[in-house]
Amino acid sequence: MKHRQIGNLEVSALGLGCMGMTGVYGASPDKGEMIRLIHGAHDRGVTFFDTAEAYGPFSNEALLGEALQPIRDKVVIATKFGFDIDLETGARTGGTNSRPEHIKAVAEAALKRLRTDCIDLFYQHRVDLNVPIEDVAGAVKDLIAEGKVKHFGLSEAGVRTIRRAHAIQPVTAVQSEYSLFWRGPEAELLPALEELGIGFVPFSPLGAGFLAGKIDENTTFEKDDFRNLVPRFSPEARKANMALVGVVKGVADRKGATPAQVALAWLLAQRPWIVPIPGTTKLHRLEENLGAVDLDLTVEDLAEIDAEASKIDVQGERLPEAVLKMTGH
């Protein structure tokens, strides 16, 4: 497995997004199978694992903590704070909460669930418009000084917010959606991260599965699958957006690869400090995804993808409206 630097943190070139392991895409998979999958990822060179208190809530962190405890010193764990979740009951209001005292309480609870004495990368999950970002960065700075956190991250934050936070406590990584399915970060975010020396961790690097080529307008999701709420996954939008899958598939066929591998290799080719975190609950998909690290897309391949993709107007918002309002700029 190749490695990359995000900020001053070294991780495997692909990480593993663990959100789907506790039911976000429908029924929760078998816990034992997920622990074996996490171990399988590490056996294949993955050192970077992504979770959050909000996934469950709490159950995803607990799963990851149990799975990684035997190899804790060999991996990097990223988790997140920032939603208004009761730390005793797991009840949530749906709003944000990044008050400094809440951040510190979330960190203490996460340390217990993750069975560790230090969180490697602690992201603010969503910007809290009621709390100055300087106060948020200051709270994480305190946690770093106490040895409970190593690195500070931001998720779905805009450039102004990132700059203000970075001035108080250096930001190691920013996590946001980025793929051929959503290229919004290219305009302002990527240039700013390059300037500041901050790494980028794209979530949904396969467009929540769409770019893998296994979903079309006739696909039916489980009733609890969050994609049922996403405008981009309406049957009409999926039908229109299949043209983008066709672009990826054309290159994949020529390279003897899969569409998922081409989509991930395309992301890896954009900057050397980009580390995607595709999620999966299946070992064969994990192995497929990891094959992207060694897939060499030529300058001509990349130019072809960009030229063909630029002709396609992707239909539908990437997230439900209520969630989009929480992205901070």
All structural domains of the chain with their residue ranges: 3-324
In angstroms, rounded to a whole number, what is the distance separating the alpha carbons of residues 275 and 124?
18
Mode of pairing for the β-strands spanning 119-124 and 149-155? parallel
* CA-closest candidate to residue 76, choices 55, 51, 44: 51
* pLDDT tens column, 148-196: 999 999 999 999 999 999 999 999 999 999 999 999 999 999 999 999 9
3 state SS of 78 = strand
Query: At residue 282, does pLDDT exceed 50?
Result: yes
pLDDT tens profile 123-138: 999 999 999 999 999 9
Q: Which residues pair with 175 in a beta bridge?
A: 155, 201
Q: 3-324 maps to which CATH number?
A: 3.20.20.100
Confidence category of residue 203, pLDDT binned at 50, 70, 90: very high
Token pair listed for 81: 């704070």
Question: What pTM, to 2 d.p., does this model score?
Answer: 0.96
Q: Is the pLDDT of residue 277 over 60?
A: yes
Could you report the per-residue pLDDT of 232-245, keeping only the tens digit for each? Answer: 999 999 999 999 99
CA distance 210 to 190: 23
Look at residue 278 in the predicted model and tell me its pLDDT. 98
Query: In this predicted structure, what is the pLDDT of residue 231?
Result: 94
Residue 327 pLDDT class (50, 70, 90 cuts): confident
- pLDDT value of residue 24: 78
DSSP label at residue 29: P
Distance CA 208, CA 226 (A): 10
**β-pair partners for 79:** 122
Distance (Å, whole) CA 241 – CA 312: 8
User: Which of the four pLDDT bands, split at 50, 70 and 90, describes residue 26?
Assistant: confident
3-state helix, strand, coil in the chain (%, to 5): 45, 20, 35
Which contiguous run of DSSP H or E holds residue 306? Answer: helix 299-309
With cut-offs at 50, 70 and 90, classify the pLDDT of residue 328. Answer: low
Task: Determine which helix (DSSP H) or strand (DSSP E) holds 213, and give its type and residue range.
Answer: none
123 labelled catalytic: no
Find the angle CA(232)-CA(233)-CA(234) to the nearest 5 degrees.
100
pLDDT band at 329 (very low <50, low <70, confident <90, very high): very low
For the chain, what is the radius of gyration of the CA atoms?
Answer: 19
